[in-house]
Amino acid sequence: MTIALHLLTAAVIISSILRISSSISTKTIADASEILTNSGFTSMALMVEFVSPQTQIPNSPAVTIFSPPDTAFERSGQPSLSTFELHLVPLALTFGRLRALPTGARITTMSGKSLIATSSNQVVSVNGVGINQPPLFNDGFLVIYGVDDFFDPNFVFATSNSNSTARCVVPGTQKPVQPLADFSFSEASEVLRSRGYAVMASFLDMQLMLGFNDQTRKLTVLAPVDEVMETLVGNVADYASLFLRHVIPCKLTWMDLVDLGDGVSLRTYLDGFLINLSRTTDRFSESADTMMLNEAEIEAPDLYQNDWLVVHGLNDILMVTDDGEEDAELDLKERQGSKRPGHVGDEL
C-alpha cells in the first residue's frame, strides 16, 4: 500500500491530534514535517502537513507523538483512528522521563486506552515496542519519537510470576539491596510519630512488612495523617488492605514522582489497586507544586528516607473505589488462605 493511500485518514487524525494543544505553531508543524520526511517517516509527515493551527483549542499545552516507520504502514495497512490515537499522549515526554517510568506504569493516550511501560535496563519500550533515541523532533511543546512498530491496542503486560504488584522497578536507579529482614523500620517509625503520623508508625511496628522479608525490595510508604487514619482504626480485619494499598514496591522520592508527572499509574502491594499521579504547577514557584495520588495530596514529601525506603505524608487516605474493591478484597483473601485472621505478617 502506497503512502498516498493514508492521506485522507492522516488529515482527519492529525487535525484531531493537535486540536488539544494551544502552543503548537504553524512553523513548528512545518519544521516537524520536514524532519520526519528527511528521517524516513513520510506517512507521519503527511499527517503533520495537514494540521491547521486554527483547529486547536486551549486544553493541553503539549503533545507527544510516537511515529512508526513507513515500513510499518506498508506492512499493516491503514490503521484505524483509535490505533492512531493510541500513539498520541497529551503531554511532552522527555526521553529521561520515559526511561524513568516504573515497569508496568501506565501512560494515558488520546484513544482512551493506556500505554504500558515495558522498559528493561537496556531498552526503553512501551507496549513491548522500542522507542528510539533521540526524539525526531522536540521543541518543548511537540515531541515526536520514532518507534519500531505500531503499538498493539490489545497488549497485555505479563510478569514472570504471580506477584505482579511487586514489579515496580525504576530502570537505572535501583541498586541491589539486602533483604528487608536485615533492616529495621524503627527509625522511620520514630520520625512518623514526631510528625503526626503515629498510626502508620504503629503499622510498621506491627511488622506488617514481615511478608516481604524473603525478597529484596525498595519501598515507598505513603502515610496518611493521624486525623484521617483514626477514623478507620478499629477493625483489625481491614488493616492489611489499608496498609498494603499505601505501599509501592519501589523507592520513589518526591523528585522521582515529579519527573513521572501526570498520566502515570503505579501499582501497590494490594493486588488490583492502582495509584494515579497528577500534578499541578504554580508557574511562579516550583515549591508550590501539588502532587495528587488519587484524591490524596502529598503534604509532607520525603518525610523520611534511607537507601531502601522513602515515606511521604498524605493529607488523606487512598480509598478503594467501588469498582475495584471486590477484586482487591478477593485477591487479598486468596493470599491469606487459612492463615489467622488479622495477623498481617502471615498474609503474604
SS3 74: helix
Residue 172 maps to a domain: no
CB 265 within 8 Å of CB 274 = yes
Q: Could you tell me which of 118, 100, 128, 132 has the C-alpha nearest to residue 36?
A: 132
Phi/psi for 60 (5° steps) reads -100, 140
Q: In this structure, what CATH number is given to the domain that contains residue 127?
A: 2.30.180.10
Q: Give the lowest-confidence range in 57-61, 92-96, 128-132, 339-343.
A: 339-343
Calpha distance 118→138 (Å, rounded): 23
Residue 9 counted as domain residue: no
Q: What is the mean pLDDT of residues 156-169?
A: 48
198 with 305, same domain? yes
Residue 163 lies in a domain: no
Domain that holds residue 136: 26-146
344 assigned to some structural domain: no
Strand partners, 293: 277, 296
Tell me: do 308 and 189 sit in the same domain: yes
The whole-number pLDDT of residue 96 equals 83
- Of 76-85, 137-146, 295-304, where does mean pLDDT reach its minimum? 76-85
Q: H/E element holding 220?
A: strand 219-224
Q: Which of 146, 169, 193 is the last residue of a domain?
A: 146
Reported as a single tens digit per residue, the pLDDT across 15-55 is: 555 554 545 777 888 888 899 999 989 988 886 666 433 33
Task: Tell me the average pLDDT across 190-195.
Answer: 94
Q: Are 339 and 329 in contact (CB under 8 A)?
A: no
What pLDDT is recorded for position 278? 85
> 192 pLDDT exceeds 60?
yes
- Per-residue pLDDT, 161: 38
Shared domain for 132 and 190, answered yes or no, is no
Local structure of 313: helix, strand or coil:
strand
Per-residue pLDDT at 160 exceeds 60: no
Query: Does residue 347 belong to any structural domain of this protein?
Result: no
The count of domains in the chain is 2
The overall longest dimension of the chain from CA atoms, in Å, is: 68
Any domain includes 340:
no
82 and 132 housed in the same domain: yes
Q: Which three cell numbers stand for residue 168?
A: 515496580
Do 141 and 191 belong to one domain? no
Task: State whether 87 and 202 are in the same domain.
Answer: no
Which pLDDT band, with edges at 50, 70 and 90, does 317 fall under? very high
pLDDT of residue 318: 93
Tell whether the model's pLDDT for residue 268 goes beyond 90: no
- Whether residues 36 and 122 share a domain: the answer is yes
Specify whether 36 is located in the same domain as 99.
Answer: yes
Of the two residues 255 and 229, the one the predictor is more confident about is 229
Given a cut of 70, whether residue 324 has pLDDT beyond it is: no
Higher pLDDT, 79 or 138: 138
321, part of any domain? no
Contacts of 250 (CB under 8 A, 6+ apart): 102, 168, 169, 170, 174, 217, 218, 219, 220
- Is 129 in the same domain as 193? no
The verdict on residue 176 lying in a domain is no
What integer pLDDT is reported at residue 66 of this predicted model? 94
Q: Is the pLDDT of residue 339 over 70?
A: no
Q: Looking at per-residue confidence, does 298 or 28 come out higher?
A: 298
Among 199-203, 236-240, 271-275, whose mean pLDDT is lowest? Answer: 236-240
- CA atoms of 199 and 235, how far apart (whole Å): 14
Structure letter (DSSP) for residue 54: G
Q: Answer whether residue 118 shows pLDDT above 50.
A: yes
Examine the domain organization and report whether 127 and 46 are in the same domain.
yes
